[in-house]
Amino acid sequence: MATSEDTAAGQAPTDVRAPAWRGGFGRLWTAAVVSKFGDSLRTAAMPLLAASLTSDPVLVALVTACGYLPWLLFGLLGGAVADRVDQRRAMWAVDLVRAVLMAAFAVAVALGHASIALLIALAFALTTLQTLFDNAATALLPSLVPKAALGSANARLLTGQQIAGGFLAAPLVPVLLLAGAAVPYAADAATYVLGAVLIASLRVTAPEQAPRPAGSTLRGDIAEGLRQLWRDRVLRGICVATTLCNIGMAALIATLVLHVTGWLDAGQGGYAAAIMAYGVGSVAGGLLAARLSTRLGRVRSVFTAGAVQIGCLVAMGLVREVWVTIAAMALFGLMGLVWNTNQVTLMQERSPAAMLGRVGSAFRTLAVAGAPLGALLGGAAAATWGLNAPALLAAALFAAAIASLAALIN
């Protein structure tokens, strides 16, 4: 059970009830899952298309890199805008714009006009729009479900997206490509349209925005969001820990294929099994997250999840058996969703309603910033110390993250 100290700090969970599917949450959940399905179709098909257009690995990697760059450039701006506008309208408007972009790209692919430059521009534009959409969605959810159901709502959203992206979309891509190179992108455009319709039909809207002081600017709003995140001891600690973990996670993921096919000599089948195990574990984590937080409190749940993940990474880095890596990836994914669910819910619970977009964007931007560094560190570690080194590097970074959280639960 959570202690009285947890309750006073806002760390004890109140998600003792499941969110009602009526009243807006069901439509938001469906829109999020459908959009994730379409996005997964696109992200699985794009590298294949890029590889068919150029043999330059730098250009192929640049397509993926442009999926991160807008968060660093516009993530904070997206949060400030999300706090100024009607979040529901912003979300369906963004989905319609993305639908138009994807439909136009599908036509270009079908007519043989696709190019690396077009892929890079598209990846950059879609992620730029996503910075507004994701921040608005985080700010909108608390107005659709009671506070007591926030944790369960976040767990269901993340679990549904994991199932749609990891289990339904990825295996479907080769089938769609048989029907034509443009089909995955056309399907993605259709999911954006459906998502826009669902979000536009929501009957519950976000609370009215309070009048802003005369002379207020987006720059000032962004600074206010950063200050709010920094002032909150719990959110600041979780943000630092998440950033460290994301560096370690990127180091692991960037080199996982080499770890499995090289160090473990398990081939592509072993790599596929490890990825599948991670997905299965993530789904199980969605089912466990609310129960664990009810028992331990949110911060303690994050701390526990990270501690278990350290053990998984150490086992992967030291035990040269593919079945150990597969089991470790399953448990790693399970605890990863426990971490993410409680992290998002803490942010929604502890941030002022009028600042949710800005606090959320500050958190996301700082957390995402470490991913490119992590990927580079993972590659350097593998080249210098061996293909198992990135897993041990990730374990060290996770340990540093957990050490930074210890002060929050003592």
pLDDT-derived band at 367 (thresholds 50, 70, 90) equals confident
* pLDDT band with cut points at 50, 70 and 90 for residue 9: very low
pLDDT(217) > 60: yes
CA distance 156 to 364: 20
**How confident is the model over 65-115, as pLDDT tens digits?**
676 778 888 888 888 888 888 888 889 999 999 999 999 999 999 999 988
Report the pLDDT value the prediction gives residue 49, as an integer from 0 to 100. Answer: 83
Q: How far apart are CA 83 and CA 344, in angstroms?
A: 17
Please report the pLDDT score of residue 258 as a whole number.
86
Which amino acid makes up residue 247?
A: I
Q: Is the pLDDT of residue 332 over 90?
A: yes
Q: Is the pLDDT of residue 409 over 90?
A: no
Question: Is pLDDT at 210 greater than 60 in this prediction?
Answer: no
pTM: 0.78
pLDDT tens, residue by residue, 244-254: 999 999 889 87
Domains annotated for the chain, with CATH where assigned, are 18-203 (1.20.1250.20), 222-409 (1.20.1250.20)
Structure tokens at 268: 């592509």
Task: Share the mean pLDDT of the chain.
Answer: 85
Cα dihedral angle (195, 196, 201, 207), rounded to 10 degrees? 100
What pLDDT shows up at residue 43? 79
Mean pLDDT of 156-184: 85
User: Residue 14 half-sphere exposure, CB side, CA atoms within 13 Å?
Assistant: 14
